[in-house]
Amino acid sequence: AGTRFVCGLIGSGIGESLTPAMHEAEADRRGMPYVYRRTDLTALGLSPEEGVGLIRPAGLLGFSGLNITHPCKRLAVEHVDELSAEAATIGAINTVVFDGGRVVGHNTDVTGFAHGFARDMPEVALGQVVQVGAGGAGAAVAHALVSLGAGRLVVADLDPGRAAALATSVAGATGAEVVSAGLGDLPAQLSRADGVVNCTPVGMAQHPGTPFDPDLLDPRHWVVDVVYRPLVTELVRAARARGCRVATGAGMAIGQAVDSFALFTGVRADPDAVAADFARL
């Protein structure tokens, strides 16, 4: 008999996460025995520290791997033996693989965004890219955009210190041209940009609106929103109405699941099949 996989997700408020269902649907399609459990720290009344404290015991208990999500991605770095290159530069992990006795941390938000982008936006210009939002998702996206070949990446955030710190860290780690800009500079920066990525929570139900004035968009801009609840945000709607090429947050959500599944099992899922699951779920 083949390997039986036991995987899981540790994070807060993950009751609605589609990741467990995406993993199990892919395993079912392949007839692989695969169980994916959630450990919701909110529901269990556990702190983020107690959450990451479960990582090593899960390995000892025979888990194949874990996904780690908010608010544990940074703390979890202290609970692994080894980090992949992306995880080390970013200082955050969303995937843990138990490899024999070793605990290895990866960041499939980085690789997942890159794979999703390559699929949703093939052959778009990357001369100048503007990214709004420099938090957890923003850190992963900035590294991914540089890995995809962004010529000049401009990072803006409500918190200018956070944008500057991310720009410095990505530029330092990669040698790429990454600069920060104030939100007031967005009109000038967007006028020179090929595309823009929203990495703020603006567009979610509890953060309505758009992260910048959509009147700054021209049809030549491509637009990616990483928000995926809802998939069609105000920004996505406004950008489509202006004739922009647009991708939703589904690309990153699907990409991270495909890449984590591959790390857990050694098997690469067909992203189109996972996308169809995602759309159905």
Active site residues: 73
Contact between 158 and ligand NAD by CB under 6 A: the answer reads yes
Neighbours of 179 (CB within 10 A): 16
| Amino acid in position 179 | V
Point out which span in 16-24, 31-39, 76-84, 158-166 binds ligand NAD (CB under 6 A). 158-166
Point out which span in 57-65, 233-241, 245-253, 272-280 binds ligand NAD (CB under 6 A). 245-253
Contact between 132 and ligand NAD by CB under 6 A: the answer reads yes
Residue 10 near residue 51 (C-beta atoms within 8 A): yes
CA torsion 142-143-144-145 (nearest 10°) is 50
Binding mask 164-193 for ligand NAD (x = CB under 6 A): -------------------x----------
Minimum Å gap between C-beta 168 and ligand NAD is 15
| Amino acid in position 206 | Q
Contact between 59 and ligand NAD by CB under 6 A: the answer reads no
Q: Kindly tell me which of 133 and 271 has the beta carbon lying closer to ligand NAD.
A: 133
Contact between 136 and ligand NAD by CB under 6 A: the answer reads yes
Minimum Å gap between C-beta 132 and ligand NAD is 5
Contact between 204 and ligand NAD by CB under 6 A: the answer reads yes
Neighbours of 33 (CB within 10 A): 12
Contact between 211 and ligand NAD by CB under 6 A: the answer reads yes
Minimum Å gap between C-beta 155 and ligand NAD is 10
Query: What strands, in cross-sheet order, belong to the sheet with 152-156?
Result: 177-180, 152-156, 128-132, 195-198, 222-225, 245-247
Minimum Å gap between C-beta 100 and ligand NAD is 30
Contact between 249 and ligand NAD by CB under 6 A: the answer reads yes
Point out which span in 21-29, 146-154, 186-194, 251-259 binds ligand NAD (CB under 6 A). 251-259
Contact between 145 and ligand NAD by CB under 6 A: the answer reads no
Contact between 226 and ligand NAD by CB under 6 A: the answer reads yes
Contact between 260 and ligand NAD by CB under 6 A: the answer reads no
Q: How many residues bind ligand NAD (CB under 6 A)?
A: 27
Contact between 108 and ligand NAD by CB under 6 A: the answer reads no
Point out which span in 120-128, 169-177, 248-256, 272-280 binds ligand NAD (CB under 6 A). 248-256
Residues that bind ligand NAD (CB under 6 A): 70, 109, 132-138, 157-159, 162, 183, 199-202, 204, 211, 226-228, 249, 252-253, 256
